[in-house]
């Protein structure tokens, strides 16, 4: 029963990491480029709206749920050390926790908070926006790569754990 729950938690984590990687991929490859093409006032207003809309139960369930699952799985590796795939599992979980969750909290959220209080039509807003687009996007690339790599590593761990594996 515990092994089945562990497998399900690994599967959910892998899918969650992949889903979050996809969200960040969209921002890195076209959303931020589209916003940067707008006037600063339009770009700021659009990103302010996105930053409000993203705080919703569905996104938070996936983002925070994947964080919690990765945390639990990382702890579980202490009791499963030496079993097939555990190194991949630990690496994937730590990569998601540090490269996705912590990067979000330390680098992207503070930028979003600063953008939230700026007047889109002000000179200060335009100045903030110029730096925001490049720095926020750079950190988003890190989050995307970390989430994608985490999904891959946890999937490899799942392959080691699957019924047909050796």
Tell me: the pLDDT tens digits for 78-123?
999 989 899 999 999 999 999 999 999 999 999 999 999 999 999 9
**Structure pTM?**
0.93
Torsion-angle region of 82 (φ positive above 0: left; ψ -120 to 50: alpha; else: beta): left
What pLDDT score was predicted for residue 56?
98
Q: Say if residue 44 is exposed, middle or buried (CB neighbours under 10 Å; 0-12, 13-18, 19+).
A: buried
Mean pLDDT for the chain overall: 95
């Amino acid at each position: 029963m515990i092994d089945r729950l562990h497998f399900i938690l690994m599967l959910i984590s892998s899918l969650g990491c992949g889903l979050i990687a996809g969200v960040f991929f969209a921002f890195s490859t076209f959303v931020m480029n589209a916003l940067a093409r707008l006037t600063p006032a339009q770009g700021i207003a659009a990103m302010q709206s996105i930053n409000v809309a993203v705080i919703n139960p569905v996104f938070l369930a996936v983002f925070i749920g994947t964080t919690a699952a990765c945390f639990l799985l990382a702890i579980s590796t202490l009791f499963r050390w030496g079993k097939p795939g555990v190194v991949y599992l630990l690496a994937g979980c730590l990569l998601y926790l540090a490269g996705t969750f912590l990067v979000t909290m330390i680098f992207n959220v503070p930028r979003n908070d600063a953008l939230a209080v700026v007047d889109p039509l002000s000179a200060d807003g335009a100045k903030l926006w110029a730096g925001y687009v490049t720095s926020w996007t750079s950190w988003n690339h890190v989050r995307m790569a970390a989430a994608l790599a985490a999904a891959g590593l946890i999937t490899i761990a799942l392959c080691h754990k699957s019924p047909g594996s050796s």
